[in-house]
Structure 1
Amino acid sequence: MTAKVIVVGGGYAGAVVARTLDDVAEVTLVEPKEAFFHHVAQLRAAADPAWVEKMFLPYDGLLSRGRLVRDTAAHVRPGVVELASGARLDADYLVLATGSAGPFPTRLGTTSPVTAARRLRELHDALDRATGVLLLGAGAIGLEFAGEIATAWPGKPVTLVDPVPDLLGGRFPAEFRAELTRQLDALGVRVLLDTKLDTPPATPAGAVGAFTVTTGDGEALAADLWFACYGGTVPSSYLGPELAAARRPGGRLAVTEHLRVAGQERVFAVGDLNDTPELKVGRAAGRQAEVAAANIRALIEGGPLTAYEPFTDGIMLSLGPSGGVGYAPELGLFDAEATAAFKGTFLLDHFRELLGAA
């Protein structure tokens, strides 16, 4: 009998696993969204409405033999996925690829492309009307968002505030951080590190309305639009006790070198959900998906398992369509031109091909 594989989550990792195993197993992809959301492009879409329609890709062409179930996993235990609709799915192998969550605009908070597109256009309108923007959190999301805003609306004051003493935790070389600082300065983005606010802004995040906040040093910052660019979480409340036992502080699951959930032989966790010691970026999610799929294929057909090797720290950080800075240990520093060339399309054609939407 053909092995049954259930993939929970159809994001960057889950879609790769499902497509890769479609020829060897009876694959069921459980995903509540009505289309694939190309999240890495959504900050560009907020600044440039021409990108809004591009970032939603249909799932229709992803599987030729398997099936897509538009539903949410309510309770998962080894071999069984119970859905929010009340349906039960049985499986020989499970792949958990439920990703991460975060505040708007990190995530769009909907399963509907129509609603998501509307929220992105409303975000663009708010940014257009604002006279000054405050971003709390100078991680990759805050930095890229600042770059998009400053490029799309030259001269609009953008301020980043973060309590950390150095950009991106100081985990990249000094030359990378120096180039990043230079480009932010050129864009007019003000970055206040080692800084906290006494109280959060009085207006709701994402709503245009004048406010003034005070830093711990007593400086008053005035703006009329703000966003939290931190606070990502890893949803895992759907896990039954056998799988929740592998949960670490913060919600991530401990996995073996083969990406099996600790203590499990036929349950894998990929992407943001697991605790591999590396930056949670797209290339890691894609590679983990390939390794997990290869190991399930090996378990089905016979053969050796593949160990996953975490990536060393590397990043490609865009600062608007023509700016950015990158770093890879094996290649060194990427300047604005090289970074923009690499991230200019956000690999859209690659994901169209993956989804069968080319």
Structure 2
Amino acid sequence: MSSTVVVVGGGYGGTTVAKALDDVAEVILVEQKDSFVHNVAALRGVVDPAWSERLFLPYDGLLSRGRVVHARAERVEPGSVTLSTGERIEADFMVLATGSTYPFPAKFDIDDAAGAKARLAETRTALQAADAVLLLGAGPVGVEFAGEIRAAWPDKKITIVDPASDVIVGDFPDELRAEVRRQLEELGVEIVLGASLAEEPPAEPGRAKTFTAQLTNGAEVTTDIWFRCFGAAPATDYLGGDLAADRRSGGLVEVRDTLQLSGQERVFALGDVTSIPEAKKAKAAEDHAVVIANNIRKLIAGETELETYRVGGPMIALSLGPNGGAGFIPERGVLGAEMVSRAKSADLRTTFYEELLGVVRPASDRG
């Protein structure tokens, strides 16, 4: 009998590891959303209605032998998953791939694609009517959202506010930050650093309401709509039994370099839930998934020498609308708008994920 592998979470890493093991094990992918959500392209989906359909991909073509169960994992212990439906699934191997939560619209807290599309349409309508937009956070989400808004609506006033001393904080060269600032300034985006809002806004994020915000540096910003562009939190509240001991106070899970949880030979974790000291990106989750899939194959075959995951140097690719962007690769240095746009911005790797999930689009629908 083949081994049963339960993958909890159907995001970038979860789908990758499930697909990779479909030919060697009975794979069960547990995912509460009814569609794969291509979060990397979510911000473009806010400003461009043509992208709304491309954000949500069916899971039907992902697995040829395994199955996808749409339910929430209520409790995960070594060897078993209890679902929100009451079903309990026994597993020989488990992969924790539930990722992280993040404020809308970078990520969705709605499980059905139809509801998420409706929320996108509401936000787009409100954003289109706004003359001034306030983005709280000068990290990747805030920067990329500013670029998408400017590409769709050239005349809006866009302000980014962040208490940090610069944009895109982290282990990146100052040349990258200078290039990002240059492009934002060229786009007419105002950047206010070293300051935050003196009090919470009088409206929910993404909802139309004109107000004047007082900043901690004494300045004021008047806006018609605002968005929170910070606040990722790992989704690991379902861990129970011995697995709960590997969960840090902030929710991250401790893993060994083989991506196994400490004290566990058959439980692995990947992506945003891990305590690995690196940027939480889709590419990192996919790289983790490859190592995990190879290690589970080895364990199924009775091998004991497992692969290890090594953290690479800091890399980043930021889209600033379909035709702009900046990035950094240690081997090549800072990348400009043309290279990033060619590599990421135009398609945002959507075709790659459509192929991974076996989605066939009519030629007229492909961007």
Residue aligning to 1:356: 358
Residue aligning to 2:152: 152
Structure 2 counterpart of 1:222, which letter? T
Matches of 2:211 and 2:203, distance apart in 1: 7
Deviation at 1:249, TM superposition (A): 3.1
Matches of 2:90 and 2:72, distance apart in 1: 15
Using the size of structure 1 for normalisation, the TM-score is 0.98
Deviation at 1:335, TM superposition (A): 0.7
Percent sequence identity over aligned pairs: 49
Secondary structure at the counterpart of residue 263 of structure 1: coil
> Pairwise mapping of residues 258-277 of structure 1 onto structure 2 (< 5 A)?
258-277=258-277
Matches of 1:280 and 1:217, distance apart in 2: 31
Secondary structure at the counterpart of residue 234 of structure 2: coil
Deviation at 1:351, TM superposition (A): 0.8
Closer/same/farther in 2, CA of residues 253 and 181 from structure 1, 3 Å limit:
same
Deviation at 1:68, TM superposition (A): 0.9
Matches of 2:82 and 2:274, distance apart in 1: 21
> Pairwise mapping of residues 319-338 of structure 1 onto structure 2 (< 5 A)?
319-338=320-339
Deviation at 1:217, TM superposition (A): 1.8
Contact 1:155 1:188 in 2 (8 A): no
Secondary structure at the counterpart of residue 99 of structure 2: coil
| Corresponding position: 1:230 with 2:230 | yes
Map Cα deviations across residues 201-252 of structure 1 (whole Å, 9 max, x no partner). Answer: 1122111111011111211110110011111111211100311111123201
Deviation at 1:4, TM superposition (A): 0.8
Matches of 1:64 and 1:235, distance apart in 2: 28
Structure 2 counterpart of 1:336, which letter? A
> Pairwise mapping of residues 256-335 of structure 1 onto structure 2 (< 5 A)?
256-303=256-303, 304-335=305-336
Map Cα deviations across residues 96-148 of structure 1 (whole Å, 9 max, x no partner). Answer: 00010011112221111111111111111111001101111111111101111
Map Cα deviations across residues 81-105 of structure 1 (whole Å, 9 max, x no partner). Answer: 0001100000010000001001111
Residue aligning to 1:134: 134
Matches of 2:52 and 2:31, distance apart in 1: 21
Residue aligning to 1:87: 87
Structure 1 counterpart of 2:149, which letter? I
Matches of 2:48 and 2:197, distance apart in 1: 30
Secondary structure at the counterpart of residue 168 of structure 2: helix
Contact 1:123 1:206 in 2 (8 A): yes
Matches of 2:297 and 2:190, distance apart in 1: 50
Residue aligning to 1:186: 186
Deviation at 1:155, TM superposition (A): 2.1
Matches of 2:205 and 2:221, distance apart in 1: 16
Structure 1 counterpart of 2:328, which letter? Y
Deviation at 1:170, TM superposition (A): 4.8
Contact 2:123 2:207 in 1 (8 A): no
> Structure 2 stretches of 5 or more lacking a match?
361-367
Secondary structure at the counterpart of residue 167 of structure 1: coil
Secondary structure at the counterpart of residue 169 of structure 1: coil
Matches of 1:7 and 1:70, distance apart in 2: 12
Map Cα deviations across residues 245-289 of structure 1 (whole Å, 9 max, x no partner). Answer: 111232010100000012211100011111111111111111100
Matches of 2:183 and 2:11, distance apart in 1: 31
Using the size of structure 2 for normalisation, the TM-score is 0.96
Residue aligning to 2:341: 340
> Pairwise mapping of residues 145-224 of structure 1 onto structure 2 (< 5 A)?
145-224=145-224
Matches of 2:7 and 2:308, distance apart in 1: 20
Contact 1:284 1:310 in 2 (8 A): no
Deviation at 1:339, TM superposition (A): 0.7
Structure 2 counterpart of 1:328, which letter? I
Matches of 1:236 and 1:47, distance apart in 2: 31
Contact 1:108 1:119 in 2 (8 A): no
Structure 2 counterpart of 1:48, which letter? D
Deviation at 1:293, TM superposition (A): 0.7
Matches of 1:171 and 1:159, distance apart in 2: 25
Deviation at 1:198, TM superposition (A): 1.0
Matches of 1:55 and 1:220, distance apart in 2: 36
Moved more, 137-146 or 195-204: 195-204
Residue aligning to 2:40: 40
Structure 2 counterpart of 1:2, which letter? S
Contact 1:132 1:225 in 2 (8 A): yes
Closer/same/farther in 2, CA of residues 177 and 161 from structure 1, 3 Å limit:
same
Contact 1:284 1:311 in 2 (8 A): no
> Pairwise mapping of residues 43-122 of structure 1 onto structure 2 (< 5 A)?
43-122=43-122
Matches of 1:45 and 1:197, distance apart in 2: 27
RMSD: 1.0
Matches of 1:155 and 1:17, distance apart in 2: 44
Secondary structure at the counterpart of residue 209 of structure 1: coil
Secondary structure at the counterpart of residue 246 of structure 2: coil
